[in-house]
Chain A
């Protein structure tokens, strides 16, 4: 598909590189030559220099024949104008990044006039992600599949866990839980395990199963924690506002520490149920005074990565059970992995991922591939793909143990109607099923590609 991206910042750049590696034709518009030169050098795309909300520049980029226009500059107004123009020029779909709460509320009102297919608010999306993690505190990451019926959860096996030294085939025998471990990270390497694979303490495992089964599994292996009752948020920006709002709706007690008095007053007005503290969130005295040790969760959302990491590490030292930090420079993942912090959130990456997911879903309706959703796991080393079985494919009706599938590939879940099947060797794939495949091989386009 032909995709035009306006704005080559963090969000635009991430989307461009993702979509370019997936084989789309990408044209990036930005008014900064240096950024564009760099983009063209490191990605397989072309660039157009200029203001993305100007007709002449959009014409030069060929928006008339584009399948999607994505406006991801830092200015909401520019994004909306760019989408409006693009739609009028003939782009089939338009996606705008809109982050100001005032505009978001009127997007629905203007949706027809703007012709937006989707609007993305990075801060809101990130707040949603954090709230999901806080509701399920033992997980490092959670990805929903099949419209939320199946979850793919990443956890670390603790020291002295019953799983230490256990081969995968023994799990069901021991505990009678129907879960599937579909990827294991150990010392920076990723394995798609077979039944004989032996787990070790310290492994990060990706587990798929329906929600209830996962809860049961966690309780058995001793890493289940009840959901948080109180959360302390350091930094009172937009993300803090969205997160606090969601948490308050879930009846979680919220405390926000913010340095700017004006902002404190605003938050106080908007979030009457939250406790707003005016003060420096990196002040140890203040943190102790406000009872950091006693809270269930700490989320650091200041604009400085360093402060977020320092405060998070301190909270971890004080035995806060769930600590999440906002990070902008997510590309230093080698360091982040080593830190004892439960989760990292980058709003821009999340926004980019949401858009990429949307584009992929759209591709299914246009292109030949029938991938329903695609998740990149473990620093993009593993893909989890959801396929819909529409017609008779060579994999239909054959017990899984007789299918000669590729190496490093796993049929993780079969969804048949309302039933979620964690497949064993005798299960079969039938027409009408949704099937989730986990693989280290990239670019599966069709379900039959899983065969050797």
Chain B
């Protein structure tokens, strides 16, 4: 394990986080929020100083392998969350160390689960930082680093692959740096478009910026206690619905659109499944709930918003689906597990994994009928490598084990079955709201410190697709000779 290089990259990351802190610090200054300003400046100084110290010694051997990539990604996300929690703690906006950490992890992993009951009481700069963590965490902080910092590019693919979600990660263009830049350009442009649409629809500037950040990262931190419902605007709800769904699409497709390769973009199987799942769920839920709403349109709008919020793993709310019939709630729960497309900012199992699993199941059936038949699994017309299918099954197995393990640990708090289960699932999928006591109008504040820690780990596991965090607990990783 190349520890020097790991420390070096981590130092770079920390310095970057410190610099990002300048944005909310400027806001705190502008709004005259004294304690918040002090907290941000202190964190900025700590991050930049520690970071600079860590990367002052440039390692001679810059060679990293897959394992270093995973470890760097896992450690940097934990480190980012610890330092990112400092402003909450130092400004006194959130009480308790564990609560601050939970809120930051929930921010960076784009979960959007909160422990706060009165969000509106927080200073504006702190609210901004909460949503900003969504935006940064959505596309990935390491990807950002690859885009802006001069790194040894040859092996940085290991970093990108460890951080980016989905069963297969590929570059858009030959260079990692250009790929990272392209991804961020697409991301920024989409965010700006949403911001503009919200702003010209009549949302205050601060609100449109912050809500756009939360949507873009598919996070879900709102700045009103009643989430998006507080604005009571049909226009905002439709705009946000559309953008939540857009941010759940694989970003490679936007690149294909950008280079006018419409044929390949439309051929994408994941996109078609995603669209089918979203439209199907919206229609089913609309049919299931329309008698609770005055008009069919409002039933459709609420169904669409909630489905988009859950599938894209954003977790905004305009209606309390806790009050919906059992069928709709179950559907929502299933969407929570599923998530959106790979290569997007969304969480969950990813539609592409689901497709591969379905096809593997179909292959098993065919294999029983024709034992000697040769069957390939294809996606978008190309053969899926055995490595990938093995990866998917392995992922599902570990996912289920983790789900059960966390479920048991959280159940120590002695809440009801639905609450314990859905809180774990919603954290693993980075959605935010669950069912029972953690529904869209509730928060996670009542859990014990221990459960909060377990849920934090679940969020990180979910965002980084499990293996980077697991690798931290594998003893061979920490030995110098990998024996």
Contact = CB atoms under 8 A, between A and B. Distances in A.
Interface in B167-215: 170-171, 173-178
The 6 closest A-B pairs by CB, nearest first: A25-B174, A44-B153, A46-B174, A46-B171, A26-B174, A45-B174
B154 A44 contact: yes
19 contacts: A17-B154, A20-B174, A21-B154, A25-B174, A25-B175, A26-B174, A27-B174, A41-B65, A41-B66, A41-B157, A42-B154, A43-B154, A44-B153, A44-B154, A44-B156, A44-B177, A45-B174, A46-B170, A46-B174
A33 interface: yes
B385 interface: yes
Nearest to A2: B174
B155 interface: yes
B382 to A, nearest CB: 9
Given A20-B154, A41-B158, 17 more contacts: A20-B174, A21-B154, A25-B173, A25-B174, A27-B174, A33-B385, A41-B65, A41-B157, A42-B155, A44-B153, A44-B174, A44-B175, A44-B176, A45-B174, A46-B170, A46-B173, A46-B174
Contact of B157 (A2, A17, A44): A44
A40 interface: yes
Contacts of B156: 44
Contacts of A45: 174
Contacts of A26: 174
A25 B158 CA distance: 18
Contacts of B66: 41
A41 B171 CA distance: 12
Interface size class of A (residues with CB under 8 A): 10 to 19
Contacts of B158: 41
Interface in A16-50: 17, 20-21, 25-27, 33, 40-46
Interface residues of B, number: 17
Nearest to B173: A25
B421 to A, nearest CB: 38
B120 to A, nearest CB: 47
Nearest to B156: A44
Most buried by A among B157, B158, B176, B177: B157
A43 B158 CA distance: 11
A379 to B, nearest CB: 15
Nearest to B177: A44
Contact of A41 (B153, B155, B174, B178): B155
A231 B173 CA distance: 50
Contacts of B176: 44
Most buried by A among B153, B158, B174: B174
Nearest to A21: B154
Nearest to B178: A25
A44 B173 CA distance: 10
Nearest to B63: A42
A45 B176 CA distance: 8
Nearest to B176: A44
A444 to B, nearest CB: 17
A20 B153 CA distance: 9
B314 to A, nearest CB: 31
Contacts of B178: 25
Contacts of A40: 157
A278 B157 CA distance: 52
Contacts of A2: 174
B380 to A, nearest CB: 12
B255 to A, nearest CB: 13
Contacts of A46: 170-171, 173-174
Interface in B111-156: 153-156
Contacts of B65: 41
Interface string A280-312: 000000000000000000000000000000000
Contacts of B175: 25, 44
Contacts of A33: 385
Contacts of A20: 154, 174
Interface string A386-426: 00000000000000000000000000000000000000000
Interface string A31-75: 001000000111111100000000000000000000000000000
A91 to B, nearest CB: 16
Contacts of B155: 41-42
Contacts of A27: 174
A129 B54 CA distance: 48
A40 B174 CA distance: 10
Contacts of A25: 173-175, 178
Contacts of A17: 154
A99 B154 CA distance: 31
A360 B174 CA distance: 19
Interface string B367-390: 000000000000000000100000
A283 B330 CA distance: 81
Interface in A134-187: none
Contacts of B173: 25, 46
A109 B177 CA distance: 43
B270 to A, nearest CB: 18
Nearest to B382: A49
B403 to A, nearest CB: 30
A21 B174 CA distance: 12
B441 to A, nearest CB: 47
Contacts of A43: 154
A40 B66 CA distance: 12
B164 to A, nearest CB: 14
A46 B168 CA distance: 14
A40 B160 CA distance: 12
A25 B176 CA distance: 10
B2 to A, nearest CB: 14
Nearest to B386: A33
